Amino acid sequence: MNRAPSKSFRDVIAWQKAHAFVLSIYRLCEEFPQKEQFVLSSQIRRTAISVPANIAEGFKKKSTADKARLLNVAQGSLEECRYYLILAEDLDYADVSTTMNQLEEVSKLLNAYCKSILNS
């Protein structure tokens, strides 16, 4: 399936799904105990926000190497989020299954986006 070139980072499906993931993370963190407001909640939000932020930043970079580097940073942040979700589940703070499914979808899209950038 050929898509028209994206005019804005907001047109990138990986960014759209990553943004939806961040919104889900914010809702999920509301279920955490109050004592985690400035610890796990803060950390998971920061790493989640990093994913679409790095996709957006990479979108405007001119060189393939710069784009790939920022997309790799996004991938790293996504993996960090994966760990925090595992931790939240193991601590019985919330059911993370739906959010983990979103993370998997973002990961697949981000990997495909990276490949398309590197092969262009």
In this prediction, residue 120 carries a pLDDT of 80
Q: What is the mean pLDDT of residues 20-47?
A: 95
User: What 3-state DSSP class applies to 53?
Assistant: helix
pLDDT tens for residues 62-117? 999 999 999 999 999 999 999 999 999 999 999 999 999 999 999 999 999 999 99
Asked if pLDDT for residue 51 goes beyond 90, the answer is: yes
Please, which pLDDT band fits residue 37 given cuts at 50, 70 and 90?
A: confident
What domains appear along the chain, each with residue ranges and CATH number? 12-118 (1.20.1440.60)
In this prediction, residue 74 carries a pLDDT of 98
Is residue 8 left, alpha or beta, with left meaning phi > 0 and alpha meaning psi from -120 to 50?
beta
Asked if pLDDT for residue 40 goes beyond 80, the answer is: yes
Q: What is the mean pLDDT of residues 48-74?
A: 96
Please, which pLDDT band fits residue 6 given cuts at 50, 70 and 90?
A: confident
- Mean of all residue pLDDT scores within the chain: 94
Give 32's DSSP letter. S
Distance CA 39, CA 54 (A): 23
